[in-house]
Amino acid sequence: MAKIINIFILCGVLFFCVDLGATNFARQTSKEEKNAKEKNKSEKSKEGLALLMEISKEREKQSGILKEQTQNYNKLKNLLYKGIIKQGDSYGLIKTQAGEPSAVISGDFTGEICWMYRPSSKDIFAKDKVYLFFDEKKNLSRWEIYKDNIKQ
């Protein structure tokens, strides 16, 4: 009987040791998993911050483009009203004086090239526009100025 009790005690001690070892292993694994999660979270935070910074830079760039677009529109309008830009001027000269157009449209059938200048706007169908039309020789043939979608 004493042998049986000793065996039970021995088994109990073994189970306790095995259980204690498993618990310690589980704790260690849990700590490692927690550290891995923290590291992953930190890396994701860094990636997220880098993405936000990139978006911010892109918005600044877009804002600069929109500002330049409005400046070019105003500059061109003033040059036309003052008579500085006139028929026959080359588009190289006009681009130097007024800056880049908002859009370039080519007339496939007429051979005309049209440049559109407009102020920046949230409205894609902005009402104020200036159209410059160039002939096949890339010289200004005519222009149209629109204010509130009414030709001036």
Give the residues of the chain that fall short of pLDDT 50: 10-11, 13-18, 20, 25
Show the tokens assigned to 112: 């005309």
Contacts of 104 (CB under 8 A, 6+ apart): 113, 114, 115, 116
Task: Calculate what percentage of the chain has a pLDDT beyond 70.
Answer: 66
Q: Tell me, what's the pLDDT at 87?
A: 93
Which residues lie across from 115 on neighbouring strands? 104, 132
* Domain boundaries defined on the chain: 2-151
Asked if residues 113 and 107 have their Cβ atoms less than 8 Å apart, the reply is yes
Domain 2-151: CATH architecture, name and number where available: 2-Layer Sandwich (3.30)
Q: 125-135 pLDDT, tens per residue?
A: 667 899 999 99
Q: How far is CA 37 from CA 31, 34, 47, 118, in A?
A: 10, 5, 15, 51
